[in-house]
Structure 1
Amino acid sequence: MPTPPQPALDRTSRRLILRDHVGNADVRAFVDAAGWTFVGQIDRDLEHGIGYEAKWSTDGGDAHYVVDEFADVVYLLAPDAAHASIENALSVWTLDELIEDSYVHVYPAGWAKSVLRLGAGAPVVADERVLDHLVFSAQHADVPVRRAALWAMVYAAWPEFTEALTALARDEDPGIAREALDALELLSAAQAGGR
Structure 2
Amino acid sequence: MTLLVQWELFPGLRASYTEEEAIESSYVFITSTLGARSVESATAVFEVHPKVVDFGTLILELDSAPDSQRRSIAVARAGLGAPLEPRKRFVERIGECAFDQDSRVREGALWAMTYAEWPVFRKVLRTVADEDDDPYLRDFAQETLESFDALGVGEQ
Smaller-chain TM-score bracket = 0.7 to 0.9
Q: Deviations over 1:58-92 (max 9, x none)?
A: 35821111122343311112222223322223421
Change (3 A) 1:108 1:55: same
Question: Higher RCO, 1 or 2 (CA under 8 Å, sep at least 6)?
Answer: 1
The 1:171/1:62 distance shift into structure 2, 3 A limit, reads same
**What TM-score do the two structures reach when normalised by structure 2?**
0.83
Give 1:118's match in structure 2, choosing from 65, 68, 78: 78
The answer to whether the 8 Å contact 2:126/2:142 transfers is yes
Structure 1 length-normalised TM: 0.68
Whole-Å Cα distance in 2 between the matches of residues 73 and 89 of structure 1?
14
Q: Is the 8 A contact 2:119 2:153 kept in 1?
A: no
Identify the match of residue 69 of structure 1 among 14, 18, 21: 21
Inter-partner Cα distance in structure 2 for 1:191 and 1:179:
18
SS of the equivalent of 2:152 reads: helix
- Partner amino acid, structure 2, of 1:80: E
- Counterpart of 2:3? 52
Unpaired segments ≥5 residues, structure 1? 1-45
Find the residue that maps to 1:89 and give its secondary structure: coil
2:143 aligned residue (182, 186, 191): 182
Contact 1:162 1:184 in 2 (8 A): yes
Give unmatched runs, 5+ long, in structure 2.
Answer: 31-38
The reply on whether 1:167 has 2:119 as its aligned counterpart is no
Residue 89 and residue 73 in structure 1: after superposition, are their counterparts in 2 closer, same or farther (change >3 A)? closer
Matches of residues 1-195 of structure 1 in structure 2 within 5 Å? 51-58=2-9, 61-78=13-30, 79-169=39-129, 170-191=131-152
Spell out, residue by residue over 1:97-128, the C-alpha distance to the aligned partner (whole angstroms, 9 max, x if none).
11111111141111111001111111222122
More displaced, 184-193 or 143-152? 184-193
More helix by share: 2
Separation (CA, whole Å) in 1 of partners of 2:133 and 2:65: 24
Residue 113 of structure 1 aligns to a residue whose secondary structure is helix
